[in-house]
Amino acid sequence: MEQDLINYRKSYEKSELLVENVPENPLELFQKWFHEVDTYFSDDETNAMTVSTIGLDGFPKNRVVLLKRFTYEGFIFYTNYNSEKGKAIEQNPNVCLSFFWHGAERQIIIKGTAEKIANNLSDGYFESRPRGSQLGALVSNQSEVLPNRSWLEEKLSKLEKAFEGKEIPRPDYWGGYIVKPVEMEFWQGRPNRLHDRIRYQLQEDYSWLINRLSP
């Protein structure tokens, strides 16, 4: 099978990103872009991001997860700590996050270190989840091989009966990570492939070095 994609082209013309207009802290620019995309480009799932890890087999692996909170400290998402990504983070906490908002012709690439958040924070988020999502965390041995789909559905059915009328506790193998950034790159599409790329790098004094990169 072969398909020629050389004529797949798009001209990016919606906005610009200039060094003289960016804040000193990249988290402020992230917040601005996030809210602009969320407000004006509702077709994008704004909080969907790609998490890249180095797996136990030595290969990088990407997957899309949902960002659930961001602060000046970093970016928080939740997962099964025993999953493939959880095991990869335990071995090597250096990860990369990326957001691609095609409607706004923007992307953000974030290098940082991941660490588990406090148990009480994971408890609070777990309690806020829909009941079906809570049960899903108990049902799934994430990334493990399944015999078939029916096995998963039967396990869910048994747990629904077991927890009928009861609170569902957060399993200790499920919780949040915070990714604390050390580098953030903001990409704004521009005509003729001369895209704007602004990079922030964290310095020893916790200030941010800002540079424009060649497209």
Q: Which residue has the tokens 């809570």?
A: 134
Structure tokens at 122: 């994971």
Nearest to 131 by CA among 170, 103, 188: 170
- Within 10 angstroms of residue 136's Cβ, the number of other Cβ atoms is 16
Is residue 44 within 8 Å of 35, Cβ to Cβ? no
Measure the CA angle with vertex 184, ends 181 and 190; round to 5°: 160
Q: 50 pairs with which residues across the strands?
A: 64, 98
Structure tokens at 152: 């998963």
State the DSSP string of 20-37.
GGS-SSHHHHHHHHHHHH
- Within 10 angstroms of residue 152's Cβ, the number of other Cβ atoms is 15
The phi and psi torsions of 129 (rounded to 5 degrees) equal -75, 150
Active-site residue, selected from the candidate residues 129, 170, 190, 193? 193
Active site residue 190: no
> What amino acid occupies position 79?
T
Q: 134 pairs with which residues across the strands?
A: none
- Give the active site residues: 193
